[in-house]
Homo-oligomer: A and B are copies of this chain.
Amino acid sequence: MARFEKITLQEAAGLINDGDFLSFSGFTIWRRPMALIYELVRQQKKDLHLFEVNGGTHTEVLAGAGAIKIWESCWVGHELYGKLGEGIARGQVEGSIIVEDYSHAQVVARQLAGAYGLPFFPTALSMGTDILNPKYDMLSKAGLRDGSNPKIPVKKYDVIKEPFFGNGEILMMPAVNPDWALIYASQVGDEGTVRVFSQTYVDAEVVKAADKVIVIAEEMVPDNYLRQEPEKNLAAGYAIDYVVECPWGAHPTGSQFFYDVDADFIRQFYQVSKSKKAFDEWADEWIFGVSGHEEYLDKLGINRLQNLRANSVLGYSTTVKRGTR
Q: Which chain A residues have a beta carbon within 8 Å of chain B's beta carbons?
A: 117-124, 147, 150, 153-155, 158, 160, 162-167, 170, 172, 174-175, 198, 200, 229, 231-232
**Chain B residues near A122 (CB-CB < 8 A):** 118-122
CB of A147 within 8 A of CB of B174, answer no
**Chain B residues near A153 (CB-CB < 8 A):** 164-165
CB of B165 within 8 A of CB of A231, answer no
Q: How far is the CB of A277 from chain B (nearest CB, A)?
A: 41
Given the known inter-chain contacts A122-B120, A124-B117, A170-B119, please indicate yes or no for A158 contacting B150, CB distance below 8 A.
Answer: no
Q: How far is the CB of A153 from chain B (nearest CB, A)?
A: 4
Considering only CB atoms, which chain B residue lies closest to A196 in the complex? B231
When all copies of this chain in the complex are counted, the total is: 2
**Chain B residues near A165 (CB-CB < 8 A):** 119, 150, 153-154, 174-175
**Chain B residues near A162 (CB-CB < 8 A):** 119-120
Among A147, A150, A164, A165, the most chain B Cβ lie within 10 Å of the Cβ of A164
Considering only CB atoms, which chain B residue lies closest to A118 in the complex? B122
Bound complex: CA A37 to CA B174 (Å): 42
Bound complex: CA A117 to CA B123 (Å): 9
Bound complex: CA A280 to CA B154 (Å): 61
Bound complex: CA A122 to CA B120 (Å): 7
Bound complex: CA A153 to CA B164 (Å): 5
CB of A164 within 8 A of CB of B174, answer yes
Given A154-B164, A165-B175, 14 more pairs with CB closer than 8 A:
A117-B124, A119-B167, A119-B170, A120-B163, A120-B164, A121-B122, A154-B166, A155-B163, A155-B164, A158-B163, A158-B164, A165-B174, A200-B231, A231-B232
Q: How far is the CB of A175 from chain B (nearest CB, A)?
A: 7
**Chain B residues near A155 (CB-CB < 8 A):** 163-164
Q: How far is the CB of A316 from chain B (nearest CB, A)?
A: 15
**Chain B residues near A200 (CB-CB < 8 A):** 231
Q: How far is the CB of A254 from chain B (nearest CB, A)?
A: 17
**Chain B residues near A121 (CB-CB < 8 A):** 122
| A-B pairs with beta carbons under 8 Å apart, 20 shown | A118-B123, A118-B170, A119-B165, A119-B167, A120-B122, A120-B162, A120-B163, A120-B164, A147-B166, A150-B165, A153-B165, A154-B166, A155-B163, A155-B164, A158-B163, A160-B160, A163-B172, A165-B174, A231-B232, A232-B232
